[in-house]
Amino acid sequence: MGYITPESPRSQLSSEFRIIKRPVLTNVRDKSAAVDRANLVMVTSSLPGEGKTFVAANLAMAIAMELDTTVLLVDADVARPSLLSRLGLPSSRGLLDVLIDPTLDLADVILRTNVPNLSLLPAGAQQGRATEFLASDSMIRLVDELASRYSDRLIIFDTPPVLPSTEARVLASHMGQVIVVVAAEHTLQSSVQQTLAALERCPVVLPVLNQISRSEVGAHYGYYQPNET
């Protein structure tokens, strides 16, 4: 399905995500950068279908390959969750369950994976007002808990697109870094401009161009391949 794993051979995609993850990790590790909550990273897009979940999952995989970094991947696209199905996992309790039931502990719903350093927090049981929970006080308290309780872990949130609703914008205001996925030759420039304007108060906003037919990384990919004999 195009996802990188620790066992995957070096590829153009893995090389591209090595480039994408580096500024994210620099903002976390470089104390002089002074990015508040840099370990909280939101992956979003302007509209559905631009590949934000694909980017969120691959970014989490790429960062989990670091020798000294653990990653928690959160499916916060609670209205249309897809991470578990994409990764071949059954439905499970998760984010919404914790927001609804204050007696439920985060540790009870976080899933370990067979990828070292990578854990998952599923979206959880579907609710009629699932998206509204993202802008609730309970969600803000949960984000605060994640930032402090797991301060040594990088937490990646796959969230709803920005333009169809306001909840993702509220959540973005509590993140240290926001990655905006843009579908090449598909997303209108005006949509990207609206999205960036909605996120202008976020400390760090990093656009990622997705679904391009050819990249500069790909053009030079052969440099990293072993010489033929």
Q: What confidence tens digit (pLDDT) does each residue in 138-173 have? A: 898 889 888 888 778 899 999 999 999 888 898 898
Give the pairing of strands 111-112 and 118-121. antiparallel
Quote the pLDDT of residue 216: 54
143 is a domain residue: yes
> CA 178, CA 43: separation in Å to the nearest integer?
6
Q: Per-residue pLDDT tens for 195-229? A: 999 998 888 999 999 988 765 555 444 434 444 43
Cβ neighbour number for residue 169 with a 10 Å cutoff? 20
Tokens of 163: 């333009």
Mention every residue, 6+ apart, whose C-beta is less than 8 A from residue 133.
Answer: 78, 96, 99, 100, 127, 139
Confidence of residue 88 (pLDDT cuts 50, 70, 90): confident
Confidence of residue 102 (pLDDT cuts 50, 70, 90): confident
168 is a domain residue: yes
Range of the domain at 42: 36-218
The arithmetic mean of pLDDT across residues 7-14, rounded, is 80
Q: How many domains does the chain have?
A: 1
> CA 121, CA 110: separation in Å to the nearest integer?
5
* Angle value at C-alpha 192, between 43 and 40, nearest 5 degrees: 20
The arithmetic mean of pLDDT across residues 18-33, rounded, is 87
Distances (CA, A) of 54 to 17, 82, 113, 160, 224: 11, 10, 17, 13, 24
Provide the 3-class DSSP secondary structure of residue 205: strand
Q: Tell me which of 162 and 6 has the higher pLDDT.
A: 162
Domain at 74, CATH number = 3.40.50.300
Quote the pLDDT of residue 25: 93
Q: Per-residue pLDDT tens for 26-79? A: 999 887 667 888 999 999 999 999 999 999 999 999 999 988 889 999 999 988
226 is a domain residue: no
159 is a domain residue: yes
207 is a domain residue: yes
> CA 205, CA 105: separation in Å to the nearest integer?
31
83 is a domain residue: yes
Quote the pLDDT of residue 224: 43
Give the pairing of strands 177-183 and 204-210. parallel
172 is a domain residue: yes
17 is a domain residue: no
